Structure formats: C-alpha cells, structure tokens
Copies of this chain bind each other. A is one copy, B any other.
Amino acid sequence: MKKNLGSKDIVFPTPVFIVGTYNAEGVPNAMNVAWGGICGSNPPSVAIAIRKSRCTYDNINEKMAFTVNIPSEQYVAESDYFGMDSGKNGNKLERTGLTTVKSSMVDAPIIQEFPFALECKVINQIENGQHIIVIGEILNVVVDEDCLGVEGEPDIEKIAPMLYNPAKVNYYGIGSKIEEAFSVGKKFMKKE
C-alpha cells in the first residue's frame, strides 16, 4: 500500500555541498547546501538553491563566483556546523580550523582539506519561492591526487562523500558499487 505524505521537500539522495565564497573584504565563508545538483553538461553547470537572507547569497552577488566543496565523511562535524552558523557571526572556516586557498579560476575559496571541489562562475539566478536558484558554470574540477582512480578519474570511494537525508535530518555515507551504468539495463533493449 502507498501512503500520501503531502507536499514535502524530501528526495533521496540529496548532497552535502559546502559552498565556498568570499565577502567584499575577502573573508572566506562556507555554507552547507543540500538543495542542489548538476544542471547541465554543455556547459558543465551546477545549481544550488539558497535563501536570499544568507551571507553566501550576498557574497555570490559580490563576486559572481562560488565553489562547491565535497567533504569526506571524516569532516561531518565541520560540514554540519557550516549549516548551523552564519558567516555574519564571524569566520566559520577559522572556527573549524579548516584552511582555504583562492581558486585559480574564480574569486572564491577552495577548502584545502576536502578532496574535491568545483570552481564556478555565476551564469544565472532564478527566483523560486523562498529560495533563489544560483547556477554556476563549472570552470574547473579540483581533486586530491590521492583520490584519483586508475584512469585518472575522481574515485568516489576514496573521496568518501556524504549524503544528507532530509527525511530524518542525518548524514549517510556511500555504500558499495551495485552495477555499471549504460550496461546492466541492456537486457531490456529490443533485439535487432
């Protein structure tokens, strides 16, 4: 039997994006964003949905740039904190002890301890109720060298990203590989 739960902002999985920005004075900020995802391939682009009241939103409009940093599981406490406090209360990065370096492509900070980051320039903003959807063109992907796989691709298991579970407000790790894509489904294709 199916049960109707009404209108809710729940889906599985949602990501743990730590969005990095600078304010007008160059102070870095980090915000935890679960409402987002890749939104285009040509150009490669990523969408994040945030409230206009956020420090990150002011920073994005100041610099027209942001990074999306993917934390490993071991940084769950830091990542959670980035979703609880505001940059308006001080330098959140400093409080966690995490360090940043300026992106070589855009005016936004990369969190050095995190294994994976996207460097993004803002190409669009769309009003969507209480949120604004900010679209960033991904100018560069930065990965820790020790998180690369045998073919030089980012290795999801070495990166060990987290998921956010909005139904129960907690974090999960990734599990095991199930199957290859564009492969296991072939059995349903029409025989020529």
Please give, as numbers and ranges, the residues of chain B lying within 8 Å of A165 by CB-CB distance: 156, 177, 181
Question: Could you tell me which residues of chain A, from 82 to 141, have a CB within 8 Å of some CB in chain B?
Answer: 82-85, 89-90, 92, 95-96, 104, 110, 112, 116, 118, 124, 126, 128-131, 133, 135, 137-141
Q: Which of B14, B49, B82, B179 contacts A76 (CB 8 A)?
A: B179
Q: Are B185 and A168 in contact (CB under 8 A)?
A: no
Q: Which of B110, B131, B144, B155 contacts A39 (CB 8 A)?
A: B131
Q: Which 4 A-B pairs have the closest CB atoms?
A: A80-B185, A81-B185, A37-B37, A173-B175
* Complex Cα spacing A173 to B163, Å: 11
Question: Could you tell me which residues of chain A, from 152 to 192, have a CB within 8 Å of some CB in chain B?
Answer: 152-156, 159, 161-190
Known pairs A40-B49, A170-B177 / 9 extra A-B pairs, C-beta < 8 Å: A8-B141, A12-B15, A15-B37, A35-B40, A37-B47, A40-B130, A78-B188, A81-B185, A174-B175
Please give, as numbers and ranges, the residues of chain B lying within 8 Å of A36 by CB-CB distance: 37, 39
* Complex Cα spacing A93 to B45, Å: 30
A53 at the interface (CB under 8 A from B): no
* Complex Cα spacing A116 to B8, Å: 12
Please give, as numbers and ranges, the residues of chain B lying within 8 Å of A138 by CB-CB distance: 7-9
Interface size band for A: 35 or more
A46 at the interface (CB under 8 A from B): yes
CB A36 to nearest CB in B, in angstroms, measures 5
Q: Given that A46-B11, A141-B5, A143-B2 are contacting pairs, would A128 and B37 also be in contact in the complex, using a CB cutoff of 8 Å? A: no
Please give, as numbers and ranges, the residues of chain B lying within 8 Å of A85 by CB-CB distance: 185, 188-190
A24 at the interface (CB under 8 A from B): no
Please give, as numbers and ranges, the residues of chain B lying within 8 Å of A40 by CB-CB distance: 9, 35, 49, 128-131, 133
Q: Are B38 and A49 in contact (CB under 8 A)?
A: yes
A70 at the interface (CB under 8 A from B): yes
